[in-house]
Amino acid sequence: MSSLSLQQIKQRFGIIGNAPQLNRALEVAMQVAPTDISVLVTGESGTGKEIIPQVIHQLSARKHNEYIAVNCGAIPEGTIDSELFGHEKGSFTGATGSRQGYFEVADGGTIFLDEVAELPMQTQVRLLRVLETGEFIRVGSSKVIKTNVRVVAATNENMQRAIQSGKFREDLLYRLSTVPIPLPPLRQRQEDIYLLFRKFASDFAEKYRMPAVKLTGDAVELLNAYHWPGNIRQLKNLVEQISVIEQERDIDGPRLQSYLPQAEEFFPAVVGAPETKIDERELMYKFLFDMKNDLNELKKLVVELLNHQGDFSLSNDQAAVVNRLYHDLNHGEQRILPSAPIKTETAKPVVYDADNYRDETEDIEIHEEVQESLSLEDREKELIQKALDKHRGRRKYAAEELGISERTLYRKIKEYDIQG
């Protein structure tokens, strides 16, 4: 174990806090640092997982060799093997020369694989071989290369769930997590929250050359009571916002409340119930898909009504679709349509109301306009643009806001040609 004390480690790496779970994580990191054991750091996004591999590397005999941090979620799937293991000239389009991968460059040092659960399955097989034998092969080569690299990985995903869904190899998880180090979420470090606030306030005061913001007693209580779903990253972002925007340096409870997201009010926690993550994005997409199906069905009905030369009957299912759409578009006002025969005239669209059926001579393009405004691609593009604008183009934070990986976000940005 390192001769440095726990407090010295905190001072050296700028770690704030005295929560028991945090202290335990640092103690384990200090104990395993002199060895070559693989370590898996787990914890929610924004808990500061990236500091643990730095501690391990700097307290090991490898500290004078390379330390490389790799964000596995930010590298496109088609190039990640080349990034990690290198490639030979001509091995793929654009490979104009040979290239060393991170495992070759970091020989004798440490590699930190952040968001390791985002690795493609083919790359997981290659990584497993490196961990088991210390050998790998460059892309497009048949020559085996030896390497002596310490691997520290991190993830914010439930790895057992990833294994059950077929996203991650079970044998690779066992190799990576010889020693697991969990980091607690900020809400479980209540005694550290205000300490972190004061540290960030001091840092931003120095950065922007202004007095540091301070909290009143009620604001401190509110700060400690908040759930902090974004953990330390969210707290730091909040302190920076307040430091830049507020003219007054003393922040009271109501003023602080205006900076805290109110999503929790819409999804109150049930005491004693297990925590569940409500994916608002998935709920929205489900609604849009259901609406799109209904609109397609309505489009077919309109075409049949316009082209039919006699009696036309709505089935019970068709009438239900029209009623549901009418209900949604009229903010809940009920309109009941029977499945009786309806007289229609060619080239005149039929519009229904509650009491009778009447013909309108206005040109009908309603279904096309509605489909355009509810286009899934447009909505997805709009959400991505809003997330990028909110986080000032910082794609990592935008991806977390959207609930997707950075690799997926990069692909969507390229697909939709989004600027930001």
Q: pLDDT-derived band of residue 363, with 50, 70 and 90 as boundaries?
A: very low
Q: Measured between alpha carbons, how far is 18 from 24 in angstroms, rounded to an integer? A: 10
pLDDT for the residue numbered 273: 38
> Helix count (H) and strand count (E) of the chain?
19, 13
Tens digit of pLDDT for each residue in 365-412? Answer: 444 444 444 566 777 888 888 888 888 888 888 888 888 888 888 888
pLDDT for the residue numbered 306: 59
Tens digit of pLDDT for each residue in 202-230? Answer: 999 999 999 999 999 999 999 999 999 99
pLDDT for the residue numbered 221: 95
Cα–Cα distances (Å) from 89 to 85, 97, 410, in that order, read 14, 4, 26
Asked whether the beta carbons of 336 and 323 are under 8 A apart, the reply is yes
Query: Does position 157 have pLDDT exceeding 70, yes or no?
Result: yes
Strands annotated E in 1-60? 39-42
pLDDT for the residue numbered 272: 38
pLDDT for the residue numbered 336: 44
Burial zone of 331 (CB within 10 Å; 0-12 exposed, 13-18 middle, 19+ buried): exposed
Query: Does position 162 have pLDDT exceeding 60, yes or no?
Result: yes
Tens digit of pLDDT for each residue in 239-264? Answer: 999 999 999 999 999 999 999 986 44
DSSP assignment string, 104-156: HHTTTSEEEEETGGGS-HHHHHHHHHHHHHSEEE-BT---EEE---EEEEEES
Asked whether the beta carbons of 147 and 130 are under 8 A apart, the reply is yes
Beta bridge pairs of residue 154 = 41
Asked whether the beta carbons of 53 and 385 are under 8 A apart, the reply is no
Tens digit of pLDDT for each residue in 43-61? Answer: 999 999 999 999 999 999 9
Question: What element of type H or E holds 321?
Answer: helix 316-329
Q: pLDDT-derived band of residue 340, with 50, 70 and 90 as boundaries?
A: very low
> How confident is the model over 326-333, as a mean pLDDT?
51
Q: Which domains does the chain have, with CATH numbers?
A: 6-184 (3.40.50.300), 187-266 (1.10.8.60), 281-373 (no CATH), 375-416 (1.10.10)
User: What tokens does 381 get?
Assistant: 């593009």
Tens digit of pLDDT for each residue in 252-309? Answer: 999 999 999 864 443 344 333 344 344 555 556 556 666 666 677 677 766 666 565 5
Q: Measured between alpha carbons, how far is 399 from 308 in angstroms, rounded to an integer? A: 49
Nearest to 112 by CA among 184, 31, 176: 176
- Could you give the count of Cα atoms lying within 13 Å of 234 in the half-sphere of its Cβ? 20
Query: Does position 328 have pLDDT exceeding 60, yes or no?
Result: no
User: What tokens does 95 get?
Assistant: 């490979």
Q: Measured between alpha carbons, how far is 278 from 403 in angstroms, rounded to an integer? A: 11
**pTM of the full structure:** 0.62
